[in-house]
Amino acid sequence: EVVLTQSPLSLPVTLGQSASISCRSSQGLVHTDGNIYLSWFQQRPGQSPRRLIYQVSNRDSGVPDRFSGSGSGTDFTLKITRVEAEDVGVYHCMQGSHWPRTFGQGTKVEIK
């Protein structure tokens, strides 16, 4: 099973500043079809997760361009620039390249 390790697990951020979350995989995430199925999700308090980024760096429709994904190999990053109050919540990474699909532990973003 692929283990995804997120860091930090808690991230206090000042409004207007940037935040970065790391997701490290225990093995490479290249699927047999050549794609990397690494996604990022935002889960606001009391809500279902919402996908923000798919295949490492593709932003979903309606997601502000303040959110960006990057990475390769076993290291992936979600960056939030100009953090706003509505960005508070837990962020999860997930890999779908290998069975079973797995999630990171989640990173809680809060405002300082």
Chain positions 18 to 77 lying near other proteins, rule: CB under 8 A, are 37, 39, 41, 48-51, 54-55, 60
End-to-end CA distance of the chain: 36
- Closest among 106, 105, 103, 78 to 2, alpha carbons compared: 103
Q: Segment near other proteins (CB under 8 A), from 17-25, 67-75, 77-85, 89-97?
A: 89-97
Contacts to other proteins by CB under 8 A: 1, 37, 39, 41, 48-51, 54-55, 60, 92, 94, 96, 99-106
